[in-house]
Structure 1
Amino acid sequence: MSGSSPHPGMSDTAAMMHYDANKRSVLVGYILWFFLGWFAVHRFYAGRTMSGLVMLAVSLVSWALTAVAIGYLGLGLIGLWLLLDLFLIPGMIRSYNREIIASLGR
């Protein structure tokens, strides 16, 4: 296995170490979802920055608007989104890890 490295000057061992240092865990994704899901931390962890920012913004605005009752609509939307993410987290993590592998092949 030596000598066939995706990056010039990077050994297979170094590439594997780079992957291991940067890969994401589904278990950690679920832990973040459970404790910090309202703030989209699990989406940031999975590399979904744009949707994480949207989810965070909707969540913060909704919390602020609960004083006038309209915020509960946004919180309901975030709750539904969190329920969907319960099933999407493994795929998001798998996609992130595949991107790391693909970047090693460039």
Structure 2
Amino acid sequence: MDSVMLYGSRRKSVGLAYVLLAAFGLFGLHRLYLGRSLSGAGMAAITLLSIPLIWSGLGLLGFVATGTWALADALLIPSMTRETNAAALPALA
């Protein structure tokens, strides 16, 4: 029974992932929440590096890149959540 409670506490929510995407999509927090830390950190790094470069045009390119990435993630969040939750299931055995 403890393993079922552990799985319930580790289970990720599609709804919360969408809230994180809506609020902090360019920073990749939805990816960090879903266990994709490397790509989430990459999104955050691109966005943070783009802020001081916004007037040079490179910053705008960075925002377009992370914005497009975040829009694509809007379609991918349900499958990413399923994969993350399925990976937590072996912990039950």
Q: 2:24 aligns with which of 22, 36, 58?
A: 36
1:63 and 2:75 aligned = no
1:46 and 2:31 aligned = no
Partners in 2 of 1:95 and 1:67 — Cα distance? 39
- Write the deviation string for residues 33-74 of structure 1: whole angstroms up to 9, x where unpaired: 000111110000000001011111111111121032221011
Structure 2 unpaired stretches of 5+:
none
Q: What SS class does the counterpart of residue 47 from structure 1 fall into? A: coil
State the partner residue of 1:21. 9
Structure 1 unpaired stretches of 5+:
1-12
Whether the aligned pair in 1 keeps the contact of 2:12 and 2:84 (CA below 8 Å) is: yes
One-letter amino acid of the counterpart of residue 16, structure 2: V
Bigger helix share: 2
Larger Rg, first or second structure (1 or 2): 1
Structure number with higher relative contact order (C-alpha < 8 Å, ≥ 6 residues apart): 2
Aligned residues, how many? 93
Partners in 1 of 2:45 and 2:36 — Cα distance? 14
TM-score, normalised to structure 2, is 0.94
